[in-house]
Amino acid sequence: MDRVGSSHSQRVSGEVHVIIGPMFAGKTTCLLRRIMFEGNNGRNIALIKSSKDTRYATDSVVTHDGVKFPCWASSDLMSFRQKLGEDAYEKLDVIGIDEAQFFEDLYDFCCEAADQDGKTVIVAGLDGDYLRRSFGSVLDIIPLADTITKLTARCEVCGKRAFFTFRKTEETKTELIGGADLYMPVCRQHYVNGQTVVEAARTVLESRKLHHQTDSSSQVEAAVSAL
Ligand SMILES: [Zn+2]
């Protein structure tokens, strides 16, 4: 007896691939390379990124070599199908998701797209935040994944492989969107050293604040750059 319903017998099986790593590790570049590879093989592709990140053009992603790639900027994933239209969604083979840590409905979307709809979903996002805690739902989809790729950057202090994202300012909210002005990739040693410096600087600044107001963030940055 055929285990697969006849209406689904022609449908290709879905896949989930996850690309993680710290900031500046080339996650978006890796995602675009995979998406373009699929596109060049004649598959229908779409790219979704978070509308929270407005550092770049919201309707396109630009690679380092200047290739402009159209994409959907959205605050959630589950509305994508409706926004795109049922016919266009049906024809899609591959869906890329960038900045995946910002999507709260990542798990449900990946389940539906890969399990029910037979899509290949390629997800890129931060696995950890600046305190190396799980960021958003990215780690939740690891059990759904066919493959997981953890990319590394170069430590900005010593040039060794960097696994972590270090925040250069005192700001403590988890979602603080920025680039090299706020963050740098670091190896384990310089992550630990940097945290020590930031904490020491914060203690000093807090004691000084009792006497007068100071521009605390620039002093912390100075302390960090003196590592
Ligand atoms: Zn280092």
Residue 183 is labelled as binding a ligand: yes
DSSP string covering 168-210: -SS---S----STTTEEEE-HHHHHHHHHHHHHHHHHHHHHHT
Mean pLDDT of 78-86: 93
Task: Measure the CA–CA gap between 137 and 6, rounded to whole angstroms.
Answer: 34
128 C-alpha vs ligand 1 centroid, how far in Å? 18
Q: What's the pLDDT score for residue 5?
A: 44
Q: Which CATH class is domain 13-151?
A: alpha beta
DSSP SS3 for 48: strand
Please list, residue by residue across 93-110, b when 16 or more beta carbons sit within 10 angstroms of its beta carbon and e when fewer do: bbbbbbbbbbbeebbebb
Distance 130 CA to ligand 1 centre (A): 15
User: What percent of the chain stands above pLDDT 90?
Assistant: 60
Residue 38 bears catalytic tag: no
More confident residue, 8 or 153: 153
CA distance 132 to 195: 11
Closest CA relative to residue 75, chosen from 109, 96, 49, 55: 49
The pLDDT tens digits for 32-68 are 999 999 999 999 999 999 888 766 556 777 665 666 7
Q: Report the distance separating Cα 33 and Cα 39, nearest Å.
A: 10
CA 65 – ligand 1 centroid, Å: 28
The active-site residue out of 38, 86, 90, 99 is: 99
Residue with tokens 């978006």: 28
Residue type, 226: A
Lowest mean pLDDT among 72-81, 116-125, 177-186, 211-220: 211-220
Q: For residue 208, what pLDDT band results from cuts at 50, 70 and 90?
A: confident
User: Average pLDDT in the 156-183 region?
Assistant: 91
Listed by start position, the domains of the chain span 13-151, 161-225
Assign 111 a pLDDT band (cuts: 50, 70, 90): very high
Please report the pLDDT score of residue 38 as a whole number.
94
Q: How far is the CA of 156 from the centre of ligand 1 (A)?
A: 7
Beta bridge partners of 69: 61
| Prediction pTM value | 0.81
pLDDT value for 197? 79
Q: How confident is the model at residue 19 (pLDDT cuts 50, 70, 90)?
A: very high
Q: What pLDDT is stored for residue 142 in this prediction?
A: 98
